[in-house]
Amino acid sequence: MKEDMKFLRHLWKQGTILNYPLSLQLLNCSSRLCALKEAKANQFHSMTTAISLDVSLRENVKQMWDNSVGMAKGRDLFAEMSKWNVVSWTSMISKNAKGGFTDRALECFSQMQRVGVEPNEMTFSTMVGICRALRNIGYGMSLHCLILKKGFSCHSFIASGLISMYSKHDCVNEAWVVFNETPERDAVLWNSMIVGYAQNNLNGEAISLFSMMLLKDQEGIFSVNSFIITSVLKACGGVNCIRIGKSVHNYAIKLNYSSDVFVAVSIIDMYSRFGSVDRARHIFNQMGKRDLVAWNSMISGYAQNCYSTEAIELFYQLQSENFLPDESTFTSVLKALAVAANSVLGRFFHAKIIKGGYLLDVFVGTALMDMYSKCLDIEDAERAFKEMQRKNLVSFNALIMGYSPFGRYKEAIETYIDLLRENMRPDAFTLSALLSSCSELGALLEGTEVHAHSIKFGLDSNASVGNSLVGLYCKCNLTDNALKAFESVTTPNTMSWAGIISGFALNGEGENALKYFDKMLLSEKPNEFSLSSILKVLASWAATEHGRHMHAYVIKVGLESDIFVGSSLVDMYSKCGMIEDSSKVFTSMPKKNVISWNSMIMGYAQNGFSQKALCLFGEMKKLGATPTSVTFIGILLACSYAGLVSKGRHFFNMMVSDYRILPSVEHCTCMVDLLGRAGHLDEAETFLLNSQFSSEPSIWKSLLAACRVHRNSDIAIRVAEHCLHLEPHDSSTYVLLSNIYASKCLWAEVERIRILMREVGVEKEPGCSWIDIRNSMYVFISDDRFHSANEEIVTTLKTLIVQSKNASFSSMLGEFRL
DNA sequence: ATAGGGTTAG
């Protein structure tokens, strides 16, 4: 400041007349008031001109002239000011806005109108630019009104600014109205609208607008420039269609824009988004001149596509070519380490970032937190969060998201409350992250409260929030609530549909799953998830015909090579008993994962092809796939059906000791079943009592069934009484126990069971089975008179009964009959 | 005076 004054004094003494920009520059420091005093003593006209531009000092200047030189000078100044005011006011507004003094810029604008100076097209253009940066669109809208009133809306550069302003504030419709009502459209106007669409994620619209532009451009009124190419490339990156992207790329080459750094960076970014890192790298390599942004975009491309080694390599290469990494570079590097969950290198870069002083940046800080939370190191993520100087909504969201894999909804909600205390407004990310924390452990109460908040903030119509709500409610078996949440979503996406369909499928509401699948087809294409869910439903129904149709449909939509769909098809066919079709699908799958292997092994096991199941298990291990808990269910099932007792014991031990898999209810049921079927009833009972599931009724019932087969009434009585103790309302156990006592002529016990049954109020649940013929379901309930079936089925059934009696199967059915 | 590239979250 002192230096400035010295310099000024020097100039004054020399009698130099300062020109306008120089004096303004000199005055643009806090020494202005001192300068005023000096100016009072020295009469430098240019000086006062510069000062008079500053609205806040204008009055002071006038007063100064009034006091020192006399009223006349002051009046002169004022008159002069009004003479060149439009330009000076406008540049004053612009200066203030650029210096970050938005309030003063707005004040200038109203003051100039108050003193009767009419804004011109430059003033309005500047003002529109300011309104674009404002938090609120209200001021911008009233400015738009003024522009319309004063008749400035026909200027295409003002219209461009308005389009940009509206689209920045998510008002694409308003932007479109401005675009549509501007008769003379130049390249900038088209570009503003294209960018506006792209910014609001309406990439398809942006691309269509571009093609519309090309059609109109035949008259040669304007031409596509490199700005437009970059914008369109950006939009291409947002649609899942590499074909369009490639043709725009070719078009850019044709127009000779491939050497433009901006264009090249957009192409790199676009290909990275498509997952074509190699193409992106090719463009990067071919660039004649690269700036830091180009390096950053390539590093980011690698990070996005999980090529973390390449990203790090590029970081070092960048340094060796004497570029100084910036915040963006570090952000991308951290992302690369986050996707690789490499906290060792992550810490190394953390240190580097601290040393370089990059930690003040919100992006870097947030990326650092995210890196730690992706490494499941929530404590360090919390620490990084606490150490951040400036936090924004994204930083809060990142922490809340960090909690969700652990289901730590309490901490997530606490962070959310902090966010509200900071006067921030949650967005869809915040709420859906909170909801996924809640659904992890089924925290329904807290989840419902978050639901209330999402309604309060108008975010329940958002697809991500809606999807999370559907997830939470489905997890808690509340499909009605899930459906309500789903229906609040304005534009459900493919995943939304998949969510509600799978929710129905998992909660045993197959009819609803199918209903919503059909509804979805009216507006959305099915994806691998919705198809898998539907196949699961059809598998559970053993709906053969429908399943075949769905398989044909899968082929039609081109998802037959998908790993999830393929596995579901394998499962569906094997549940329908069509093991050949199942194995055909399995063999033709181009890619298999552990789920596919599991489906096929389970399919073989369930259909009694134990040997094939075990062979497949061997093959799976040979190909390097690691068996999971589900694999062993299939294997133990296969052993159980084939009576391979020692193999079963062997695989069970292998699972526990080699693969460190904790035995689940299913595994224990299989083991008890295996031992029981083979007649090792004592061993089965001991196994069960020693297992974690000794109070699980279903396993005891499977042991009871084994006792029945082996006609061991002593153990059977013990086991059945235990079953009654665990499940006093299960009618089948009463019936069975009663039968056993009856077979041993223990009539008093039979009577006791009968009384007990009446006391507890148990009624026998009717047995039920069904078959699916030509897409129709025929349900049979025991003891009914076949009223629901057709003639053909009734006749066939009667024949079957006679045949089975002749084959003396009836003797087997007669055991323990009441 | 209006328009274009890379950076954080699922």
Q: What is the DSSP string of A97-123?
A: HHTT-HHHHHHHHHHHHHTTPPP-HHH
- Provide, in whole angstroms, the distance separating residue A560's CA from nucleotide B5's C1': 39
Nearest nucleotide to A123, CA against C1' atoms: B1
- Are residues A572 and A604 in contact, defined by beta-carbon separation less than 8 angstroms? no
- End-to-end CA gap in chain A: 107
Look-up: residue for tokens 């009434």?
A: A713
Look-up: residue for tokens 């691309």?
A: A207
> Cα-flanking dihedrals φ and ψ of residue A201, to 5°?
60, 25
- The tokens for A242 are 């590499």
Q: Is the CB of A439 under 7 A from strand B?
A: no
A512: how many CB neighbours lie within 10 A of its CB?
18
CA angle A812, A817, A818 (to 5 degrees): 175
CA angle A59, A62, A68 (to 5 degrees): 135
Q: What is the pLDDT of residue A760?
A: 80
The Cα A201–Cα A241 span in angstroms is 15
Mean pLDDT per 10-residue section of chain A, whose length is 818 residues: 55 46 44 49 46 48 49 55 70 85 90 88 94 90 94 93 93 94 90 94 93 80 84 92 92 89 95 94 93 95 95 95 94 95 94 92 94 94 92 94 94 96 94 95 94 95 95 95 95 92 94 95 92 94 92 94 94 94 95 93 95 94 92 94 94 94 92 92 92 89 86 85 84 80 84 83 69 68 59 77 63 40
Which of A's residues 545-604 have CB atoms within 7 A of nucleic strand B?
A: none
Q: Is the CB of A262 under 7 A from strand B?
A: yes
The Cα A480–Cα A457 span in angstroms is 23
Per CATH, domain A663-765 is 3.40.50.720? no
Q: Which residues contact A73 (CB under 8 A, 6 or more apart)?
A: A65, A66
> Cα-flanking dihedrals φ and ψ of residue A221, to 5°?
-75, -40
Q: What is the CA radius of gyration of chain A?
A: 38
- Provide, in whole angstroms, the distance separating residue A529's CA from nucleotide B7's C1': 32
Q: Is the CB of A527 under 7 A from strand B?
A: no
Question: Could you tell me which of A643, A611, A612, A617 has the C-alpha nearest to residue A632?
Answer: A617
Q: What is the pLDDT of residue A31?
A: 43
Q: Which residues contact A654 (CB under 8 A, 6 or more apart)?
A: none
Q: Is the CB of A120 under 7 A from strand B?
A: no
Residue A253, classed as helix, strand or coil, is helix
Residue A492, classed as helix, strand or coil, is coil
> Cα-flanking dihedrals φ and ψ of residue A426, to 5°?
-65, 155
- Are residues A692 and A663 in contact, defined by beta-carbon separation less than 8 angstroms? yes
Distance between alpha carbon A655 and the CA centroid of its chain, in Å? Answer: 35
List the alpha helices (DSSP H) in A327-462: 327-339, 343-356, 362-374, 378-387, 393-403, 409-421, 428-440, 444-456
Q: Is the CB of A454 under 7 A from strand B?
A: no
Within a 13 Å sphere around the CA of A215, how many CA atoms are in the beta-carbon half?
Answer: 6
> Cα-flanking dihedrals φ and ψ of residue A134, to 5°?
-70, 160
H or E element that contains A768: strand A768-773
Strand stretches in A196-350, DSSP E: none
- The tokens for A748 are 């008093």
- Are residues A489 and A461 in contact, defined by beta-carbon separation less than 8 angstroms? yes
Bridge-based pairing of strands A776-781 and A768-773 is antiparallel
The Cα A128–Cα A122 span in angstroms is 10
**What type of residue is A5?**
M
**How would you write A405-439 as a 3-class SS string?**
HHCCHHHHHHHHHHHHHCCCCCCHHHHHHHHHHHH
- The tokens for A197 are 């669409």
**Which residue minimizes Cα–C1' distance to B6?**
A297
Q: How far is CA A748 from CA A22, A512, A714, A738, in A?
A: 115, 49, 17, 10
A556: how many CB neighbours lie within 10 A of its CB?
9
Q: Is the CB of A481 under 7 A from strand B?
A: no
- Provide, in whole angstroms, the distance separating residue A99's CA from nucleotide B6's C1': 25
Nearest nucleotide to A465, CA against C1' atoms: B10
- Are residues A121 and A149 in contact, defined by beta-carbon separation less than 8 angstroms? no
Nucleotides of B under 7 A from a protein CB: 1-10
The Cα A691–Cα A702 span in angstroms is 15
The Cα A79–Cα A643 span in angstroms is 109
- DSSP annotation of A404 reads G
Question: Could you tell me which of A562, A648, A565 has the C-alpha nearest to residue A613?
Answer: A648
- Provide, in whole angstroms, the distance separating residue A301's CA from nucleotide B7's C1': 12
- Provide, in whole angstroms, the distance separating residue A329's CA from nucleotide B3's C1': 26
- Are residues A437 and A407 in contact, defined by beta-carbon separation less than 8 angstroms? yes
- Provide, in whole angstroms, the distance separating residue A328's CA from nucleotide B9's C1': 16
Q: Is the CB of A94 under 7 A from strand B?
A: yes
> Cα-flanking dihedrals φ and ψ of residue A769, to 5°?
-145, 165
A411: how many CB neighbours lie within 10 A of its CB?
16
- DSSP annotation of A765 reads P
- Are residues A303 and A332 in contact, defined by beta-carbon separation less than 8 angstroms? yes
Q: What is the pLDDT of residue A720?
A: 85
Q: Which residues contact A391 (CB under 8 A, 6 or more apart)?
A: A362, A365, A385, A422
H or E element that contains A305: none
- Are residues A574 and A613 in contact, defined by beta-carbon separation less than 8 angstroms? no
**What type of residue is A531?**
L
Question: Could you tell me which of A559, A557, A564 has the C-alpha nearest to residue A533?
Answer: A564
- The tokens for A178 are 């401005």
Q: Which residues are A721's β-sheet partners?
A: none
Question: Could you tell me which of A150, A127, A151 has the C-alpha nearest to residue A139?
Answer: A127
Nearest nucleotide to A157, CA against C1' atoms: B2
Q: Which fold has domain A492-591?
A: 1.25.40
Give the CA diameter of chain A. Answer: 132
**What type of residue is A46?**
S
Q: What is the pLDDT of residue A394?
A: 94
- The tokens for A614 are 């075990």
Question: Could you tell me which of A804, A803, A772, A805 has the C-alpha nearest to residue A789?
Answer: A772
Q: What is the pLDDT of residue A810?
A: 44
Which of A's residues 482-511 have CB atoms within 7 A of nucleic strand B?
A: none
Look-up: residue for tokens 């540049």?
A: A91
Residue A564, classed as helix, strand or coil, is helix
Q: Is the CB of A160 under 7 A from strand B?
A: yes
